[in-house]
Amino acid sequence: MNFAERDLRYIWHPCSQMKDYEDFKPIVIDHGKGMYLYDVEGNEYMDVISSWWCNLLGHCHPRINAALKKQIDLLEHVIFANFSHRPAIELCERLAPLLPKGLEKFFFADNGSAAIEVALKMNFQYHCQQGEPQRKKFMALTDAYHGETLGALSVGAVDLYSKVYKPLLLDVIRPEGPDCYRCKFGKTFGKCSAECFSAVEKALAEHGKETAAFIVEPLVQAAAGMKIYPPLYLKKLSESCTKYGVHLILDEIATGYGRTGKMFACEYASISPDMMCISKGLTGGYMPMAITVTTEKIYNAFYSDYREGKAFMHSHTYCGNPLACSAALEVLKILEEEKILEKARDKAEFFSNLVAETFDKHPHVGGHRFIGLINAVELVKDKENKIPYDFRLRLGYQVYREAVKKGILLRPMGDVLYFNPPLIIEPEQMKRAVEVCRECIDIVLERNKEFIL
């Protein structure tokens, strides 16, 4: 058997209908370098989605490699209860000044969904210990995505991931979120007063006293199709949460670490949340790790004599793993010393202009949205009326398969095609990625024209 056959003999892949693999076998990667992955047959693939948005500085970065090699000869892992180590301490010291004001207590987990679970549990327990046991509910937006463990799925709202599990999930208050491409108020992105926030204001007015926390992806609802909304909406949310005594949790797992052009997306709104969850780019895509960061005030609500039962009894085996902390520490050093964010911001305008020039006049591509190096476009049947195609046609998936043949790794969300590359991408690579995407869209639309045009 070849590698792909051996893979399918044993492996159940994530977010996949495994029957698709009957005629689209797993691509077995041998090694990576910078923007590129290379399979066991020597084929090259440009990774313009950062391998699920986590690869920040390119594959096999020599500095991160060296940091891991050095650490592995010192300490691979240690229990994080009553023990600590230098990489974790130094990581917190270096990261703290980069966070919004007031976030200064770090709770380590081993993946993004776990960081969300930590935040939800911590908020619920906080209110119980502060004499507000009625605050049992959580609030989140429609089209939200916060991970795939049961608590994280509860506050999420993308049916693809959560619909089948709804009988198991928490009862979450869910006001309608922003949709700037199909704005119900007829407004244009960047030229509105966030009128759509009225749904959240109404929900908080009705349920604020029973709500422990509002969790939100700042500025980009990523898994919903890179839906981008204005900073004013986020600012209004922060102010309203304060008004009703509801904690604000920012899920910066996908938006943090320069993805939006700033270190954290919330910087655009100049707000400081009660909690922030970070992962993905945290270790440059090298190691599974996440952190829930919170305030001294929340931390102090758990600080008491053991017999009072106020400790936060939550743990993961790999909390604060030294290897992951070493990778994360080196990532911060690279970002600062090589001025990665500044260079990425300089390239972002070129990229968004390139995508606009390529797709704005395409009759079946609409909804170009962008922030930082993130760019997304949507395949639509009727561009003027923004009518989508039947999802069962799987046009985006067809584009993905065509692009792989041409050496570009895209992974659309439905019919939303997006670019979310490592911050090191260069203009020539942008041109190639966008050109291939356009070619593949046209191939797929032509192939399906009897059904869709």
Q: Which residues, at least 6 apart from 364, have a Cβ–Cβ distance to it below 8 Å?
A: 379, 380, 381, 383, 441, 445, 453
Q: How far apart are CA 383 and CA 366, in angstroms?
A: 6
Is there a single domain that holds both residue 396 and residue 316? no
Q: Which of 444, 376, 366, 375 is nearest to 405 (CA)?
A: 444
- To the nearest whole number, what is the mean pLDDT of the chain? 97
Q: Which of 305, 337, 369 is the last residue of a domain?
A: 337
Per the listing, tokens 């991970």 go with: 147
Residue-range definition of the domain harbouring residue 364: 3-58+339-452
Where does the pLDDT of residue 453 fall: very low under 50, low under 70, confident under 90, or very high at 90 and above? low
The total of other beta-carbon atoms located within 10 Å of residue 121's CB is 15
What is the count of structural domains for the chain? 2
- For residues 409-426, average pLDDT: 97
So what's the pLDDT on residue 449?
85
The total of other beta-carbon atoms located within 10 Å of residue 99's CB is 21
Sign of CA dihedral 56, 60, 61, 66: positive
Q: How far apart are CA 323 and CA 110, in angstroms?
A: 12
Is there a single domain that holds both residue 53 and residue 132? no
For residue 5, CA distances in Å to 1, 8, 13, 168 come to 6, 5, 13, 36
Is residue 233 within 8 A of residue 197, CB to CB? The reply is yes
SS3 of the chain: CCHHHHHHHHCCCCCCCHHHHHCCCCCCEEEEEECEEEECCCCEEEECCHHHHCCCCCECCHHHHHHHHHHHCCCCCCCCCCCCCHHHHHHHHHHHHHCCCCEEEEEEECCHHHHHHHHHHHHHHHHHHCCCCCCCEEEECCCCCCCCCHHHHHHCCCHHHHHHHHHHCCCCECCCCCCCCCCCCCCCCCCCCCHHHHHHHHHHHHHHHHEEEEEECCCEECCCCCEECCHHHHHHHHHHHHHCCCEEEEECCCCCCCCCCCCCHHHHHCCCCCEEEECHHHHCCCCCCEEEEEEHHHHHCCCCCHHHCCCCCCCCCCCCCHHHHHHHHHHHHHHHHCCHHHHHHHHHHHHHHHHHHHHCCCCCEEEEEEECCEEEEEEEEECCCCEECCHHHCHHHHHHHHHHHCCEECCCECCEEEECCCCCCCHHHHHHHHHHHHHHHHHHHHHCHHHHC
- Whether the per-residue pLDDT at 441 is higher than 90: the answer is yes
* Segment 57-86, tens digit of pLDDT: 999 999 999 999 999 999 999 999 999 999
Phi, psi values for residue 108, rounded to 5°: -85, 140
Percent of the chain residues topping a pLDDT of 90: 98
For residue 393, CA distances in Å to 24, 41, 451 come to 17, 31, 9
So what's the pLDDT on residue 383?
94
Per the listing, tokens 């080196």 go with: 330
Is there a single domain that holds both residue 401 and residue 433? yes
End-to-end CA distance of the chain: 42
Is there a single domain that holds both residue 317 and residue 432? no
**CATH number, residue 296:** 3.40.640.10
For residue 350, CA distances in Å to 49, 145, 395, 431 come to 18, 29, 27, 10
Where does the pLDDT of residue 187 fall: very low under 50, low under 70, confident under 90, or very high at 90 and above? very high
Q: Which of 307, 337, 367 is the last residue of a domain?
A: 337
Per the listing, tokens 């007063």 go with: 193
Is there a single domain that holds both residue 102 and residue 236? yes
So what's the pLDDT on residue 343?
98
Percent of the chain residues topping a pLDDT of 70: 100
Q: How far apart are CA 355 and CA 419, in angstroms?
A: 10
**CATH number, residue 42:** 3.90.1150.10
Q: Which residues, at least 6 apart from 239, have a Cβ–Cβ distance to it below 8 Å?
A: none
Is there a single domain that holds both residue 153 and residue 254? yes
* Segment 247-304, tens digit of pLDDT: 999 999 999 999 999 999 999 999 999 999 999 999 999 999 999 999 999 999 999 9
Is there a single domain that holds both residue 271 and residue 359? no
pTM of the entire predicted model: 0.97
Q: Which of 282, 242, 263 is nearest to 106 (CA)?
A: 282
Is there a single domain that holds both residue 81 and residue 146? yes
Is there a single domain that holds both residue 77 and residue 129? yes
Is there a single domain that holds both residue 213 and residue 327? yes
Tokens standing for 163? Answer: 């619909």
Q: Which of 276, 311, 337 is the last residue of a domain?
A: 337
Q: Which of 67, 212, 36 is nearest to 136 (CA)?
A: 212
Is there a single domain that holds both residue 148 and residue 230? yes
Is there a single domain that holds both residue 173 and residue 294? yes
